[in-house]
Amino acid sequence: MKLQVKTLPLVFSLLGGLLLLFIVAPLLSLILSRSPNALFQAASEPQVTQSILLSLSVAFLATLFSGILAVPLAWMLARSKSRLKGVISGLIDLPVMIPHSAAGIAVLGMINRESVAGKIASEIGISFVDRPAGIAVAMAFVSVPFLINAARDGFAAVPLKLEKAASSLGAGSWRVFFSISLPLAWRNVLSGFVMMFARGMSEFGAVVIIAYHPLTAPVLIYDRFNAFGLKAAQEISVLFILVSIVVFVALRMIGKNTDHVRS
């Protein structure tokens, strides 16, 4: 028995280490393959900086606006006892399960200029095809399940007795939500926002179907690879990976600082 107890962590550590190596090795190899001078030259190209800023800004706005709908839905799922809850949860996960190129085709069919939604949008001056608005819709479609699921788990962990106690003391449903439910689930909700933002800004398959132009960073990487080969795509890939890491770490740190202040 003692031998089993000692060997189990060793074997699991070895297996986990191999998986981590599988994740880290390609990224580290890519980053080390390009010199700092080559990265600075790539970063000085207006098209490269514009594509990265476009990816970040549109993903942020898509996440922000999606949260207005996603957080209430997450709360409803956490509190609902309906038999349809499982069906709804399955529908929410569909964008993650289907190929993202197929997701792009599906979304394009709904928002193209000949569709009902496309015509209504055109009436108020909004166009989706080959526009940032279309990029935002594509990003939101494939990434919003991360926000909904994380927020739902957070609300589900909030004790019902606290909400009922607040209600028994005369607090209305809105006050209970904003003073009890949301503050206690805030960590999960914020984590969902971060994951949705990160997933959205890296989206390629759905975005390239709806809006090849203007070029987001993932689409620009693909474009450079097709036009100029591996080395040309590597420089932009390294830049975007580094920017993504910095943004992701910064958002995680903001979340930790928020948790510290609330505690």
- Say yes or no to pLDDT of 252 above 80: no
The residues, ordered by sequence, that sit 6+ positions from 183 with a Cβ below 8 Å of its Cβ are 262
Q: What is the mean pLDDT of the segment spanning 51-64? A: 95
**Residues 141-158: pLDDT tens digits?**
999 999 999 999 999 999
Token digits of residue 110 = 């709904």
Buried b / exposed e along 167-199 (16+ C-beta atoms within 10 A): eeeebeeeebbeebbbebbbbbbbbbbbbbbbb
**Residues 179-225: pLDDT tens digits?**
999 999 999 999 999 999 999 999 999 999 999 999 999 999 999 99
What amino acid is encoded at 148 in this protein? I
Token digits of residue 1 = 């028995």
Token digits of residue 234 = 């590597």
The mean of the pLDDT values for the chain is 89
**Angstrom distance (rounded) from CA 203 to CA 98:** 14
Q: Which pLDDT score is estimated for 261?
A: 46
pTM: 0.86
- Say yes or no to pLDDT of 260 above 80: no
DSSP state of 218: H
Residue 36 — very low, low, confident or very high, per pLDDT cuts 50/70/90? confident
Give the domains, in start order, of the chain with CATH numbers: 39-262 (1.10.3720.10)
